[in-house]
Each structure stands twice: as structure tokens, then as C-alpha cells.
Structure 1
Amino acid sequence: MKLIKKDISHLLEKTPKNRGLVVVNSQEKRVESKSLTSHKMIVGFKEERNWIFNKLTNGPTDLDVISITGMLGSGKTTLAYKIYNDKSVSRHFDIRAWCIVGQEYDEKKLLDKMFNQVTSSDLKLNDNVDVVDKLRTQLYKKRYLIVLDDLWDTTTWDELTRPFPHVEKGSRIIFTTRDKKVALHGKRHSDPFNIRLHSDIP
């Protein structure tokens, strides 16, 4: 337990408090801008990470979705963050993307930024450009991992997942949400994963 507390505390100290979109398409890069608001311990943290690792690297060859649910401060983001930045996970996927969504967001701006990061470009896409189609084309032949952090409703899920092709490449989507209805709405093969609280980190 002491080691887990120390590990999470270390993550919180290293991580900036500002929020924003971060997309990583390099196996060597880690999420560099993330708001980690969890101040709770997660019961069976190592076992839960291993369970999700297995879902990411094994299972169906077509697209699968792993949702992480729990109340505010339960550790959803912290758990997803540790998994996302694990070296074995980064080696397994061709492209990884981390997106902070939130209750209020601009769909076009978010998708534009995602496209620019995935393509390692800095283009200003016109309003008449179909960014959904362009992003889908970039991801089509890749094994990708997309994290959608802090998803609030089913409409947002439907909008943001339009660019993600359902091809048999072993691609995965992880999303965190407080609403179990959203988790069930996004389900494909894997059941939603609910985090249980243990105690406050001193």
C-alpha cells in the first residue's frame, strides 16, 4: 500500500494542473499535460491494471471499448493515465491519443487538434474540410489506442467516436465517466469497469 501511495503521489507532483487536449503518436512520448484530480486509493490497483492490460493487448481483433466509471475523485483518470503511459502498452499500439473532453467542449476544435497531432502537423483546417473523414483515413491502417477522459453524455460519445474505424487491427478505446449509462452506451465487448474507493491519500 505504501508503494502505491508513493507512486500516485509521484505522478501528481510531476503532472501540471492545467487541462487541455494531448494526443501522442510516438511510442517514446508520454502524456505531458493532464489534470489528475484523484486523491483516493484504488482497491486492488495492480490487479485492476493487469485486467485492463489484458483487455488492451488480447481479446477480439476488432475494435473494443474499455470504460472506467466511478464518482469524482475515485481515481479513474489516475488509473487510465498509468495504463496509457505503460511501456508495454505504448509498444503495442501504432498510435495513442489522450483527449480530455469535459462537460463543455468544442467538437470541431477537439477533432482538429486530434488530427494535427496524429499527423504531426499544424494545419488550420477550414470549416468545409471533413476532419472526421480525414482522421478516419489516418487511423484506418493503424492499431490505435484512444483515451477519452471525463465523458459526460452519450451524445458526446457518438460525436467523438465517428472518426474511429472499426477494423480488425486490435484497436482500443478507453474512456472515463461518472455516468454508468454512458459506459453501457459505449460498450462493445468488455463490460464497464467500476472503481471502488478505499481511503484518502494522506
Structure 2
Amino acid sequence: MTVMTDQPHMLTEDFEAVARIAARERAGTRLEFIDGVIRSKAMPDGDHGRIIQWLLKICMQSRPELFLHPGQGIKAEQYREGRAIPDGVLAHEDAFVGQGDWVEPDPILMAVEVTSWDSDTRRRDHVEKPRAYAETGIPVYLLIDRAKCEVSVYSQPNGQRYESVHVVAYGKEIELPDPVGITLKTEPLKDWVR
């Protein structure tokens, strides 16, 4: 049997229907569709959730006109045929009002991912997601890697990839460049690793 890797598993519309059914019938099941492949997104554990709370608070204090929208489904990739569920997206508080499950990414200033403990987190969060978000034109991608105890900031998307990647160990400060314009003091992240 030949496996076709250059063709999507299904049409985007069909994926959306499957994802809607999975979310309704299997509480907590979250599906993504990146590079034409369906992937299941792990449910966040307590430390994962606490990291999102920490970041949400920092964003609200630093940029009160913006909001970190946790778990918002977005249209991703170059032609917006992909579907991703970042752990958070930074945008104006009303940016997605009136939109459906999968929103247009134009108002997004930053996508956020916090690694989970599942086996494909490396491929998904370090390879597929940065490429998809860069193709989408999201200005900043923040990756909090709990296994490596590192924070990565990707910026300057060129339509295919991010031109700039800055990585620091937990405990150091890191700048989230414009249009975000926030400095993260990452010391607290040391408390939320296994």
C-alpha cells in the first residue's frame, strides 16, 4: 500500500466537521490539521495551565488593550487551509467576536505554545507550528519548552519561516519584539516543570 504524503488527508471543510464532532462527543478532544495531517492536541496538565495563567497576567498588565485568548482555533498556513489551536494568541480583546470555531489570523500579534509531554511535541511545536505560523504571517511565536527549560521567541516571518529565533534558559529575561513589546522575566517558569 502506498501512503501519499503530499496530499492532505481530507478537505479542510471535512476536517472542521470531524473536529466539531470529536469535541462534542469526546469531551476534551482537540484536533488540529497542519500540513494536511490530522493531529490530536494533548489536554493541558496543571503546570501547563499555570504557565498560561502567568503569561495571561503579564500580557494584561503590560498591554491592557490586548488579551491572550487561550485555545482559540485559527486558520493557519500559507493558504489558510490548515487549522491550529495555539495554547494562546495575543490580539485585541474583541478581535474574534462574531467568528466561528476557526478564526482569521490577521489580528493576531503572537501565537503561544507550551510543550506537553506527548511523543510528537518536538515535531509539532518546534517544526510544524513555527512554519505554519510564519506562513500565516503571525508576527511573533512564543514557545515555552518545559522539557528543555527554555523559552524561544520567533519573529520576522517571511511567508515561509521566521527569520529570527532567540532562545534563553528559564530564569533569564527575553524580549517579545514589536508589535508585542513585552519583556518576560522567566524565573517563575522554574516552578512549573517536572
- Name the TM-score, length of structure 2 as normaliser: 0.34
Higher helix share goes to which structure? 1
Of structures 1 and 2, the one scoring higher in RCO (CA 8 A, sep 6+) is: 1
More strand by share: 2
TM-score under structure 1 length normalisation: 0.33
